[in-house]
Structure 1
Amino acid sequence: MGRGRLSMELIQKEKARKTTFVKRKNGLMKKVDEFSTLCGVDVCLIIYGPNFDGQRPTKPETWPQDTDQVRRIIQKYHNTTSDRPPRIYDIEKYYRDRVKKVEGEISKVHKEKEKLKPKITYPTWDTSFNDLREDQLIMFAGILDSKIVSCNQRINMLKQNPKGKAIMVESKDNVDENVFATLYLASSNPSSYLNFMPNKGKFITIFHSSF
């Protein structure tokens, strides 16, 4: 059976705390020795033991145990850091840098989302329109306006009652079928977006209501 997960809080029982301290200290000393030997770097470890059983604080333990080597490593550290100017870092600068970093990450995410969006393009003109007369273009513009109005009405009704059912109602106003036929045949591709032949020359309006 595996060892249970250790809770990261102070061990209340002194005996158990002392046992854990000795085990962890020896393990840490071993790791420092291996790190220094394998990587060829200067490492200094100073451990102040706790005050067990009301005794006087013990002397600190160091690695390396040679005091001169400890002083040499500490002095080397001070000499290295003293050449650099002290870094002044207040709370305001910290939050300013954090905000700047977060904004940069948000901007990066937005750019990535834009790259993933499919590139959709819609035609703005068709060469068949060049052969239409002025009155045909005016009629065509009126048809488009009517369809836009119908679409807006449908959208508004769907927003108000998204669970309703659609009903088709034919308007009473007749439209010149010859104009529709001309527009329909003028398209080089009858199955394209110009294919909008009406139902017997009448507009069809979509109403939306619930039952």
Structure 2
Amino acid sequence: MTRNKVKLEFIANETARKSTFKKRKKGLLKKVEELTTLCGVDACAIIYSPYDGRTEAWPSPTGARRVLGRFMSFSQEDQEKKMLDQESYLKQRIAKTSSQLEKLKNDNREKEITELMYDCISGISTVDNLTLEDAMDLSLVTNKGLEMISQRIEFLQKKGH
């Protein structure tokens, strides 16, 4: 049975919010433990809850102090090297997604021009009504195709002899 997607919004009902907090806290601590065990890394979790009067530290307060002390012993530059706040994380994700989008746009453009090339070869389209950009892109795709054909011919000729 699949779980329903959880809406990431403030839970207005205080009882439900406390219950969800306890479940999520338990799951988060389990994930930190799994991370340390499976990947062999030092990690700690410090959780402050308005529902409890105390701050909870995993694996223990002394273990958390040890990990934080080790982290604090790094230079400021080393500390910030891999750290991301939410804004930095989102900027990084936006940049990565924008890059992927640009690559997909270029791939789609090349496929469109390749299709246009085949339409021109088969007589479905002509080059008479192409814009300058389309004509230049068609020239690039055509030259790329001719280069691939030339390389294949050379390969087959060498293989045949």
TM-score by length of 1: 0.39
More helix per residue = 2
Higher relative contact order (CA 8 A, sep 6+): 1
